[in-house]
Chains A and B, each alone.
Chain A
Amino acid sequence: MSDVHDRIRQDIQDNPVVLYMKGTPVFPQCGFSATVVQILTHVGVKFRGVDVLQDPGLRQGIKEFSDWPTIPQLYVKGEFVGGCDIIREMFETGELEQLLTEKGVLQPAG
């Protein structure tokens, strides 16, 4: 299982914005994953989507890694930000764009 954790650590280190999700950004397989993809797309941030349905070890491992029992999970610059409810709340209050801008992964609008 620690192999999986190493892979996750590497993945979130190599990619500034990573979304662990069910399905792919083009074909999400779950409503919660689809919501987060829509928000990230709307905000205009580049992200890497990782389909946990392709890998049962990863599907379990990501939950242990973050101590978070559900998917999707968003990571920005190696840090766990939250799942669907949190991303939606942060999007609605403007905190998500603020965070992405502060982390240097999103160019300020205009």
Chain B
Amino acid sequence: MSVAASIERKLTEALHPTRLEIEDESSRHHGHAGYQEGGETHFRVTVVSPAFAGQNRVARQRLVYKLLAEELAGRVHALALTALTPDES
């Protein structure tokens, strides 16, 4: 499974997002730290989910980081994250 597919599966299962965008930005980081041939090293993820209600920014990101711990420990070098509730998006 690709990293993007695995991110999508994990976030979908755990957060039931109303919106989920996963963008592979790796090609923009060619030659930078963490870049690997084949991409899937730099991602921008926007996730909108009712699961974030009542949680501050730090708690929301911690939740997503924990769900994606395996990816972050592996190939993923950078993850830019926006975590919103349906009301905020």
Contacts and interface: CB of A to CB of B under 8 A. Distances in A.
Nearest to B34: A30
Contacts of A14: none
A84 B65 CA distance: 14
Chain B contact patch, size range? 10 to 19
A89 B57 contact: yes
Interface in B61-89: 61-62, 65, 69, 72-73, 78-82
Interface in A79-104: 80-86, 89-90
Interface of B: 32-33, 57-58, 61-62, 65, 69, 72-73, 78-82
Interface of A: 29-32, 67-70, 80-86, 89-90
